[in-house]
Structures are given as C-alpha cells and as structure tokens.
Structure 1
C-alpha cells in the first residue's frame, strides 16, 4: 500500500528508508523540502506532488523528518497514527546514537523487521475497523424496534391541551373525586325605568337630539371643541439640480470649448500636462536599483527577563507584547503543544490585527507550532523568546523570494537578443495599475531603456487618456535632446472596445520593429469573479506570453487578498487550456504609505502565491517606488 517511507535529518542525511516500488521518489521528496520545509509551510502535514500524497512529521528535538508516500487516489486512514508510532519507535531505539550525534548510519535490518510488523499491524487494525463500520445492525439492535405502536401515535388535541403545562405538577394521580356543585348566580331583575343598556329614557332622548344635530351640520355651542390643526402635506421628492448639469437645452451654456479659441485651448491642455517642479526635481534620482521600504523601522528586541510588571486591568498594559505571559516559563524541557497553544493563540490574534488574513494567520501559527513542538529549551530561554524568534524566521523566509526578479538585468539580456522585454499588469479595479505602470516606466527611462506602453484597457472610460497624459509628462521630464534625439516613451493605442489580446500582440510586434527595449501592457481592472473578463486576461497572457506577469494589489486588504490571488491564479490556469499555464510571477503592493505598521497583506499575498513582492508603491509621484525589505516588514509586523 505504501510506496516509500524515509527518515532523514534536517541536514540532508538519509538515516533509513523503505521503498515498496521501483519508482524513483527523489523529485517528490525534493519538492517537499523546497516548497514546504524550507518555505516554513509545515502547518499542514500533507503535501501533494504529481500522483503522490506525502505526509510528514518533524522531530524538532533530534532534527529529524519522517516522510511517508502513497498514491493520491488511496484513502488510508491509518497513516497519521502509523507515522507517529514509527517516530516514537525510531526515537526510543536509537536515542543514544541521536543524542551523541555520531556519524553513524542507522539503517539496518533490525528496523526493517520492526517497520514491517508495525505496518502489517496497522493495516490489519484498519481493515477490522472498516469491516466493523460497514456491518449493518439488526432490527432488534436499532432504536426503532424499542418503540411501541402507542408511542408513535400523535394526538394533536392532547398536544394542544398539554402545551405549556409540562412543568406543572399533576395533583390527581388516582381516581377523580366528584367536583363540588357550582353556585348559579341569580339574575337581577330589570328596572322598568331603565333601558337594557343601563340608560334611562331621558338620557336616550338627549343623545338622539345630539345625533340629529350633528347630522344636520349644526355646531354645538354648549361645549365647543378646539379643532385639531391639519398635518402639513408631505412634499414629493424634488429633483436635485447639480452644478454643470442639465438637459440638451442647457448645452450651449455648458459648452466651454466653443468659447475658447483653438490656441488658448491647446495652451490650457499643454499646461495641465506639463510636469510640476516637484516632478522635475525627481529626474536623475532613480538610476540603478530602488531603495528599500520601511528603512526607518529598526529592529526592536523585547526584554523578557523577569522584571516586575505594572498591574493593570488591560491585557496590553502588562508589558512584553503578545508573549508577556510566558516570560516565567523557563527550563530545559521539551516543549509540548499545551505550552505553545496560549502563545500561538495570542500570536494569531496579533497577526490578524496587523491585517494578515485569518486563514494565513492560522496556517502560519500551525507552522510555527510544528517547528517548535518537541524542541528542548535552554536553561535561561523563555518560550516567549523562542516563539518570537521562530515566527520572525518564518516570516522572513516567506518574504524572501524563491527566485530573484531583476528587471534591469532581464531587460538588458532581452535587449542584447534584439527583442523587447514584456511586462503585463493585472489586478482588480482601482488598485493603481496605471499609476504604478507610469512609475516603473519612469524608473526604466532613468536607466536608459526606451519604453512602449500598450493601452489594452479598452473598457474603462479615460484609461487611454490617462496613459497619454503620463506619456507626455514622462517625455517632458526626459526630452529627446537628452537622449540623442530619441523619444523615450511611446504609447500604442487603438481606442476603446477592441480586443485587448490583439492590441498587445500588435504592440509587441511594433516594439520589435521600432527597437523599443521594454513593453508595459496595461490591462483593464476586473473583479476576480468576472468570468468573461478573466477569460480575456487569460487569452492575452496565453497569446503573447509576456516575460513577467505582475499582480497589482492594495496593502489595505486582508482576507480579500487571499480571494483575489487564489481566483486570479485559478482563472489563468483554467482558461489557458495548457499543461503548464502562465500564472502570476510577482506582486506590486500599492498604497503602502497608508497602512502604518499593518503590513499583513504582504505576508498573505506571498503565502498564497509563493511569488515575491517586486515593487512597493508609497505615494503619487514617479519616485514613490521601493523594494521590499523583508526584515523591516517583519519587525513592523511583530511590533506591539
């Protein structure tokens, strides 16, 4: 049933292995190490690679990894228990060798025999449990057989009578006693001078006169009654008159273009599109690599030594941040899940408060718990320090990219091969794709690259005009005279309502013919649930095969980031009809200057895709573009 079982140290030494088939499992184990163990994603002990399911267990005391693999289509319920039993048996048998850390291979026939016996025992026990679970009960063993016919008859009348009287004690249990005779009240004799309603004839006569008087419209003078004021009539909804708004009759008063001469109108437009003095001052400041974000966050080491803390009713004022409750737990003992759970729960709440998505916070805490469980503390080491250090290492490992994306280097290589380097921007509506595209364009021009902007947002009104304004400003900041007469930024546009994939293809071919170095493809903003637009985006990427696909997301989002990235990647994979579809290669995190220290969106997005954050947007000017400093972000994340 099992394909393989391997025990190896975290240093990479294989101590023992079992192989049930002749298949080579090295790629699967390497994928597990690269994608899970090294990337701090060990919260879930299951990993799927090709047609195999790999389950693993970490032994943090002896730095060991236990991995079992079997076919994905199998449902083996005994695997978790078997993995734990093998871990305990292996630890107990070779404890002395592991403690001495001798360079001795543990592999031997003695453990082969033990492994086979334990595997056979677990399989037989699982088979017996499955057979016992499938055995049907007889009718005599069922609950229905214990019911009588009388108990299944429902009397609605009795239910209504007994409703609300369940808690009242029943007095008459035996035979009923005869009820005492009821006294019948005597009916009073009517007075002949009084009517049946209790009114005499004189009163009836006066009432009739009043009724006739009111019917004839006469006003009563004896008892004047003040007339109630009528409520004001409710006014209907009135149309709002907006400024600079009206019907076709008001067109002449609203048309300001006809009142200006052609030269004045062109002068006003040119003045609006001219760069400001602040933008002109930015020229020449972005040559080479970008600066890191959050450089002002210095690493803060919390002091967890035993110091008298101020008593306060609030939990946050006791000192020590989210790990304050553990500063007295010291000792050279192995950490258990009971020791770690309070710290992990508080850590999870802290991460969610810093804008980390809920699911990601749980997985990150589970990963930290799996890495620490069973680890032996030093004599003067607290659980708080251990958990904090492990969390910091896990977050830094997540934010450090698996592969480095160097756009300047890649663009230079593409330029030497006489082809343009193509970058596609995608994301939801309103996150700042066009603005950050212009920032990247400015950075590339600063480093001597000729850029072609492809206006493939053919849906949003004003999208092409926005890119046209950026193009004119960028060319004004970098005039052709400063670059040997070459215009550094061009805009390729075909208007609105056209096929975005076709426009991008034409733009790439145009850039190749005209010797442009980089093509920046601007796409329309779309929600992750909009299937037609997601199909159009997948078609654009499949047809043009850009060098880089960047997802533009906001730093303000929490749980929404998980949904956006998951569905974008899923849509690109589903609609491409390819074996190895192009997915998101990197992330641009915008509006980073608005979140203070709530930097959790960076963790959420990187955890979901496993792809790096390439750029960070920090403002509205062309120079507000930064690199991500992983350690600084983690310091801000753990800051109390």
Structure 2
C-alpha cells in the first residue's frame, strides 16, 4: 500500500496495469478450465515476462526525464546590475523599450548578433543611460517640462491643420433607409390629411386581413367565452390512484385508517379548524394577483359562512373551505346587473338615437386598441360606428384611431353595405376640449344615422385631480349610456386603488344628484398572465360591476366575454 510514497517511481502504476493484463492474457485458458480453486494449487512461470515488462517501464521513464529548473546564474536576471535596476522618480524607463527592438533585430537576422556595429550601439545606449542617472532632480524636471511643451506645440499644430479636410467631408446628415421600409418620407406624413377637423370616412387601406383578424374560422359577430382548460380534476384522479395502489398492497386496514385520518366525522366546524386552511388559501389568492385586502375579506366571509356548519362524514376541512371559496368567487364574478351591449344598442335604435360608450382608464392599458376591437365586433353585428377622438393630449392618439378606421373600412368596405361607411372617425385635432368634441360627435352621429358612438379619452392617473375633473365633466355633460373602465390584468393591489379613486372622482366632480359612475370593466392583456387572474376578482369585488369584455391578443378577433367558471378554475389551480 505504501510503495508509492516510499519509491519515487513514476512508472509503477503503468507497470502494475501491464503485469495484470499480461498475466490475464497468458493464463486465460487455465482460469476457465480449472476454476478459482484450481488456481490456488497451480504454479505459474511468469518471472521472465515480469522482468521484461520492468525493463520496458524503466526505459520509458528514462526517455521522459523531468525538466530541471534553471539556476539563478543561468537566468537573465543574474546578468543585470543593481545600478540599471534603480529608477529615478519622474523618469520614464526608456531602457526597457530599447532591448525589445534589439530582440526584434535578432529575430530578423540571426547572423547579425555578433556584429561590431550592434555592440557599439549597445555601448552608446548604456553610456546615455549612465549620463541620465548622473543628472540632478532639477535638471530631470526641466527636461521633462521641455519635452511636454514640445509635444503640446506639435499637437496644437496638428489640430489646427486637421479641420480643413473634415470641413470638406461634412455634407449634412443623411436619413437612414431601412431594408423593409420606404425611402420616401412623404408617405409617412399625415399632417396635411383631409380628415383633420372633420368626420369624413377614411380611405381604404390595403393590408393583410389575416394579420388583423387572426382566426379565419370564427363565426362573424359572435363574442366567444373565455376558455381555460383546468387540469386539476385529472391531477386529483392521478393522485388518488397513486395513493390507493400502495395502500392496497400494505393491507386493507392500513389504507382505510390512512384515508380516514383527515376526515371530520359529523361535527360542527370551528374557527380553529379552518384557520390553517384559510391562511393557505389567502396566500394562494395573493400569489394569483388578488389584492391583499380583498383576499383577507374573502377568507373572512368564507369563515363566517362556514362557522358552526355541521360537516358530512366523508368530507375534509380543506375540501369544504375550497368549495365554499369557489362558490363565493363565482358569485363575485356574476354580478346582479348584466351588461348586454347588443340588446341596449337595439333599444337605442328603436328610440332613434345613438348608443354612446365612453372608455376611461390609466395610461397605457389599451383603451384605443380595445375600442377598435369592440368597433369590429359591432360592425360584424351590423351596426354603424362613429369613433370620437377625444384624446387630444397624447401625441399620435388621433393617428392611431385613423389607422384603425382605415383598416376596419378595408375589412368591411362600403360596397358591401350599400355604399355606407360602417365606421368613421370624428376628430378635431389636438389641444381641444374633450367634452366639447364628444358632444359634437354625438350630435353628428344622431344626424347621420350612426348606431353607436365610441368615445376614446386620454389616459390619466387616478391621483391627477385636474384630469379626473375633466373626465367627470365629459361624462356629466354628455351622459353616455355606458362608461367602461379599461384595466389591465397585470395589476394587483393597484386595481383597487384605481377603481376606488375613479369612482370617487366621478362622484365628487359631478353636479348631478345621482352621478354616473363606472358601469362595467374591460380587462385587457389577459393573454400575458397565464393563471394569475386575480385582477378580475379585485375589480369586480370592489365595484360590483361586471367585466363586459376581455382582451386576449393583438388582432381584432381577440375579444372575449368573461366565463366566471373558467376564471375561478384558473384561480384555484395549484
């Protein structure tokens, strides 16, 4: 065991492997015939082979002798003198740069190593270095200053000469032309369009309808329910099957006792029994994007509902609480008043007036985009739509609606509807009063026979008092039939703050005794949240208003109606 530590032989491991292989190959037949017991009594003539392998290993180790480290006398450092290694402060070590050139010259011409000219040059360098070392510190500083001023003057001369060729090169900045773009900037200039300050139908735009529509196999005019495939039931079945199989193997009694351990046998539920389950449920709801305050209120309401309730024999506390919470969530998502837009539009048609919908919300949630989706849905149901561009603040807001109008007219050209444009844009440009534009648009729609007026407003934060006052004025003056709050599904606690303050601002700044508050919610960006659907619960719980539309993508067909059971299934998914 200790031979490797005693002997400093590098070939021992290889020798042992070679001996093992040689012995095995030479006596393989005897191993197979005699077996293991026969080998104990047998004799093997292996001395000559072992000595041969030992000699080969020793010779191979001699060939690969380890490299011997140089002594100090053999190194280059021993040839340097102490004087040449001393560096004076402020002096640049120029001696180190010059030997590199000598090395380069040696590589270029090996015959020139012993040339007398090179030796004399080396002597000159050493003498010059010696002279520099003999100078005083004041003289060295003076020389360094002279070199600095000389370099500075040379740099000034170069910079004074350089601007002439640069002035010739400057010919003005050229616009970049992208590979897939247009080189003509006039194509992108919409400032002098004829539709500014009017309500004329926008020209038809040529574009790919598949890109705007998405699903071509859909039924025109139908608003599909929100779908969510929940795998909970399948997972629970798998868990039950997996747990039942091993218990059957162990025995009937063990499996039966294990199943009955978590069951409550015909007793009334106490708060102490539910607290651990409710705490887990609350954390689960918060993780699914439900506002923390609302998650606590939901769990409290479930606890009050179940406290004192007599349980069945074969029911667990967890399953009972989960079922009660699911029922409460479905009830929240199905408010008493259901908003049916198509029914209300037809009712307004009978009274020969346009049905007015106002969109409001914070910045960047997708008001204009979802307004275009709702316009497409209304057009496919046979209604004429007038879009009122009342966002007179954000740059590009009017142009965005104008582009949507062109595309909607391309999908539903006037030729297919008796020469009438199904969608028009009413806009007065930027910087105008939004309430006045909305009033003019509603009057124009009444005179021209439009069925629906969709009013797009500027995005505003709920804490901005002047903008909230302007929104309350727009709603109070024009009295829309439906006020939709557009909120994104990504928010958590912010959803509560937004809706509470929007409703409060509409109530405070309205002059009417019964102010018009938010009637419904449009939930956008629902395709980006996977199963974190808690914003839907937060919004409906705080306002008691229904979610009328759900935006699920970027095409005109990506608009759904809320399916409460699908949302609850996604919310309760582990």
Q: Which has the higher helix share?
A: 2
Residues 225-264 of structure 1: pairs in structure 2 closer than 5 A: 250=172, 253=175, 260=184
**Which residue among 310, 314, 331 is the counterpart of 1:397?**
331
Residues 557-596 of structure 1: pairs in structure 2 closer than 5 A: 557-596=491-530
Matching of residue 495 in structure 1 with residue 429 in structure 2: yes
Q: Deviations over 1:293-329 (max 9, x none)?
A: 124336737469798599xxxxxxxxxxxxx999704
CA distance in 1: counterparts of 2:447 and 2:203, whole angstroms: 30
Q: Deviations over 1:248-298 (max 9, x none)?
A: x957757999974978989xx989763443336767945344111124336
Change (3 A) 1:284 1:477: farther
Match of 2:230 in 1: 297
Match of 2:407 in 1: 473
- The answer as to whether partners of 2:205 and 2:407 remain within 8 angstroms in 1 is no
Matching of residue 287 in structure 1 with residue 245 in structure 2: no
CA distance in 1: counterparts of 2:345 and 2:204, whole angstroms: 34
- Displacement of 1:504 in angstroms is 0.3
Change (3 A) 1:282 1:337: closer
**Which residue among 605, 618, 637 is the counterpart of 2:552?**
618
- Displacement of 1:404 in angstroms is 1.3
Change (3 A) 1:509 1:431: same
Q: Deviations over 1:144-173 (max 9, x none)?
A: xxxxxxxxxxxxxxxxxxxxxxxxxxxxxx
Change (3 A) 1:374 1:264: closer
Match of 2:384 in 1: 450
Residues 85-124 of structure 1: pairs in structure 2 closer than 5 A: none
CA distance in 1: counterparts of 2:415 and 2:217, whole angstroms: 15
CA distance in 2: counterparts of 1:627 and 1:328, whole angstroms: 40
> What SS does the corresponding residue of 1:300 show, helix, strand or coil?
helix
Match of 1:43 in 2: none
- The answer as to whether partners of 1:275 and 1:477 remain within 8 angstroms in 2 is no
- Displacement of 1:416 in angstroms is 1.4
Match of 1:374 in 2: 308
**Which residue among 440, 445, 453 is the counterpart of 1:506?**
440
- The answer as to whether partners of 2:206 and 2:410 remain within 8 angstroms in 1 is no
- The answer as to whether partners of 2:204 and 2:409 remain within 8 angstroms in 1 is no
Change (3 A) 1:521 1:250: farther
- The answer as to whether partners of 2:204 and 2:406 remain within 8 angstroms in 1 is no
Match of 2:88 in 1: none
Matching of residue 419 in structure 1 with residue 318 in structure 2: no
- Displacement of 1:381 in angstroms is 1.4
Change (3 A) 1:280 1:376: closer
Q: Which has the higher strand share?
A: 1
Q: Choose 1 or 2 for highest CA Rg.
A: 2
Q: Deviations over 1:468-525 (max 9, x none)?
A: 0000000000001110111000000000000000000000000000000000000001
- The answer as to whether partners of 1:597 and 1:636 remain within 8 angstroms in 2 is yes
CA distance in 2: counterparts of 1:486 and 1:504, whole angstroms: 22
Match of 1:210 in 2: none
Match of 2:118 in 1: none
- The answer as to whether partners of 1:357 and 1:559 remain within 8 angstroms in 2 is yes
> What SS does the corresponding residue of 2:233 show, helix, strand or coil?
coil
Change (3 A) 1:598 1:380: same
Match of 2:571 in 1: 637
CA distance in 2: counterparts of 1:528 and 1:368, whole angstroms: 31
- The answer as to whether partners of 2:291 and 2:493 remain within 8 angstroms in 1 is yes
Match of 1:609 in 2: 543
- TM-score, scaled to structure 1: 0.56
RCO higher in 1 or 2 (8 Å CA, sep ≥ 6)?
Answer: 2
- Displacement of 1:575 in angstroms is 0.9
- The answer as to whether partners of 1:615 and 1:627 remain within 8 angstroms in 2 is yes
- The answer as to whether partners of 1:292 and 1:628 remain within 8 angstroms in 2 is yes
Structure 2: unaligned runs, 5 residues or longer = 1-133, 141-170, 191-201, 246-257
Give aligned pairs, total.
Answer: 386
Change (3 A) 1:273 1:534: farther
**Which residue among 263, 272, 291 is the counterpart of 1:338?**
272
Match of 1:431 in 2: 365
Change (3 A) 1:353 1:400: same
**Which residue among 274, 279, 301 is the counterpart of 2:207?**
274
**Which residue among 387, 390, 396 is the counterpart of 2:321?**
387
CA distance in 1: counterparts of 2:561 and 2:360, whole angstroms: 19
Matching of residue 350 in structure 1 with residue 299 in structure 2: no
CA distance in 2: counterparts of 1:308 and 1:299, whole angstroms: 16
Change (3 A) 1:382 1:427: same
